[in-house]
């Protein structure tokens, strides 16, 4: 019952009392309003949201306010430290780092959500089927998932990307594939709980077909854990995308992508640390912001 009541203090109220309290609120809309209020109260969530919204805004509108062209070469002003003209300094081609950091957000924020979405589609389908049907399907698919999980993400990514060739789309596909079993795990465990509930038996007795029971009856009741999983995965996806770029398997020059910039700036770390520092900081704030959002969301949903 505690799921419907986001008030953190309510967690420990005896179920009998709580059921009376809960019955006062009726619709799903009221529940969403409650959730919204709890999120607004959560400092963690709000801070995370501010950071996240800043980067999303930047990823879309950066062309409107970058002081310099992020790709514009300036052979005279190479490797300049931060100054009033170039706030974050310039790189070895004389490109303005401030502009490049602002512009770099857009690639990360395209690749990561797309990859997460792909992983969600795969993971939810797989989780629903294995969790609902159990039996042989479950056994086989879960062993495949176990096998996939045994490999570190990077190994699989390296393998696939060397075969497919590095590109933005391939990075999305690779991360999506790696996420599928992870998300499937979470979904499956939630489905395992729901499938034992009597409303599922009732739906079977009405003659609803299996796919309809999975999607229409069970799925709406496992949205909570899926949402939390998605936000956590998104954070990892950003990391993964940056890592792959860093390894040269993602976007290629002259893209202002953060991972790529960090990789290219690494040899110059002692001469011009700002080339690595600012994209790294940007990446860190984005991931931290996302984790804050995930934490806040998780707390609000669980309570």
Partner 1 sequence: MSVAAPATHAVDIEQLTISYRRRRRLLRVIDDVSLQIRPGEAYGLVGESGCGKTTVAMALMRYLPSNAVVEGGRIIFDGKDLLTLSDSALRRLRGNRMAMVYQDPGSALNPSMRIGNQIAEVFRYHRGMGKQEAEEASAGMLEKVQISDPAGVLQRYPHELSGGQQQRIMFAMALATDPALLVLDEPTTGLDATVEAEVLDLVEQLRAQFSSSILFISHNLGIVSRICERVGVLYAGRMIEEGPAREIFAQPRHPYTLGLLRCVPTFGMNKQTQRLDPIPGSLPALGTHPPGCNYADRCPIARDRCRAEPPPLLEVNAQRSSRCFYHEEVPSIPPSPAATAEPLPPPSDEVLLRIDDLIKTYHSGGHDVSAVAGISLEVRRGEVFGLVGESGSGKSSLAKVIVGLTNATNGSMTFENTPLSEAGHHRNVTLRRKLQMVFQNPDSALNPSYSVRHILQQALRLLAGLKSHSELETRTVELVRSVKLEPRHLDARPTGLSGGQKQRVSIGRAFAGTPALVLCDEPVSALDVSVQAAILNLLVDLQKTGVSYIFISHDLAVVRYIADWIGVMYLGWLVEVGPAEAVFNVPHHPYTESLLSAAATLESNGHHPRIRLKGTIPSPSNPPSGCRFHTRCPLYLGDICRLKEPPWHTAPAGNKYRCHIPPDELQAAELRLRETSTDQPA
- The residue within the footprint of partner 1, chosen from 63, 72, 211, 220 (CB under 8 A), is 220
Q: Which of residues 99-128 bind partner 1 (CB under 8 A)?
A: none
209 in contact with partner 1 (CB under 8 A):
yes
41 lies in the binding site for partner 1 (CB under 8 A): no
* Dist. CA 270–CA 266, nearest whole Å: 9
Candidates 218, 229, 223; CA nearest to 191 is 218
Q: C-beta of 16: minimal distance to partner 1 in Å?
A: 4
Residue 151 CB neighbour total at 10 angstroms: 12
- Contacts with 66 (C-beta within 8 Å, 6 or more apart), sequence order: 96, 98, 99, 102, 103
Continuous segment of H or E residues that includes residue 122? helix 97-133
Under rule CB under 8 A, which residues in 181-200 are in contact with partner 1?
197-199
Q: Does 17 sit near partner 1 (CB under 8 A)? A: yes
- Which of these, 247, 257, 250, lies nearest to 283 by C-alpha position? 257
Window contacting partner 1 (CB under 8 A); options: 19-27, 101-109, 173-181, 262-270: 19-27
10 binds partner 1 (CB under 8 A): yes
- With CB under 8 A as the contact rule, the residue among 16, 76, 163, 165 that binds partner 1 is 16
Is the backbone of residue 81 left (phi > 0), alpha (psi -120 to 50) or beta? beta
Q: Which of 36, 63, 210, 211 binds partner 1 (CB under 8 A)?
A: 210
CA distance 174 to 234: 14
- Say whether residue 302 binds partner 1 (CB under 8 A): no
Q: Does 33 bind partner 1 (CB under 8 A)?
A: no
The answer to whether 135 contacts partner 1 (rule: CB under 8 A) is no
36 within 8 A of 57, measured Cβ to Cβ:
no
Rounded CA separation 164/157 (Å): 10
Which of 128, 133, 130, 135 shows the shortest CA–CA distance to 215? 128
- Cβ distance to partner 1 smaller for residue 10 or 173: 10
Region of 15-23, 42-50, 73-81, 281-289 interacting with partner 1 (CB under 8 A): 15-23
Q: How many residues does the chain have?
A: 303
Q: Does 136 bind partner 1 (CB under 8 A)?
A: no
Output the smallest distance, CB 140 to partner 1, in A: 19
* Cβ 301 to partner 1 shortest distance, Å: 14
Q: Give residues in contact with partner 1 (CB under 8 A).
A: 1, 4, 7, 9-14, 16-17, 19-28, 31, 197-199, 201-210, 217, 220-221
């Amino acid at each position: 019952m505690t799921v419907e009541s986001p008030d953190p203090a309510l967690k420990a109220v005896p179920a009998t009392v709580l059921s009376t309290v809960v019955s006062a609120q009726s619709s799903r809309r009221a529940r969403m309003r409650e959730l919204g209020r709890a999120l607004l109260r959560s400092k963690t969530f709000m801070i995370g949201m501010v950071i996240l919204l800043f980067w999303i805004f930047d990823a879309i509108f950066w062309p409107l306010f970058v002081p310099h062209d992020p790709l514009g070469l300036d052979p005279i002003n190479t490797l300049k430290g931060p100054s009033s003209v170039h706030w974050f300094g310039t790189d070895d081609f004389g490109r303005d780092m401030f502009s490049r950091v602002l512009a770099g957000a857009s690639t990360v924020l395209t690749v990561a959500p797309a990859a997460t979405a792909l992983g969600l589609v795969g993971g939810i389908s797989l989780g629903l089927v294995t969790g609902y049907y159990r039996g042989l399907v479950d056994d086989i698919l879960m062993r495949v998932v176990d096998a996939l999980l045994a490999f570190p993400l990077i190994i699989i990514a390296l393998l696939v990307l060397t075969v497919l060739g590095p590109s933005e789309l391939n990075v999305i596909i690779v991360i999506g594939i790696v996420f599928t079993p992870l998300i499937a795990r979470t979904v499956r465990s939630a489905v395992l709980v729901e499938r034992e509930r009597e409303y599922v038996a009732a739906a079977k007795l009405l003659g609803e077909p299996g796919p309809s029971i999975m999607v229409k009856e069970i799925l709406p009741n496992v949205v909570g854990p899926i949402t939390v999983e998605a936000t956590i995965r998104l954070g990892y996806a950003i990391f993964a995308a940056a890592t792959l770029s860093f390894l040269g398997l993602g976007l290629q020059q002259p893209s202002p992508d953060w991972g790529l910039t960090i990789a290219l700036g690494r040899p110059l770390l002692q001469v011009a640390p700002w080339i690595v520092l600012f994209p790294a900081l940007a990446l860190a704030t984005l991931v931290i912001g996302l984790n804050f959002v995930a934490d806040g969301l998780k707390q609000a949903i669980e309570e």
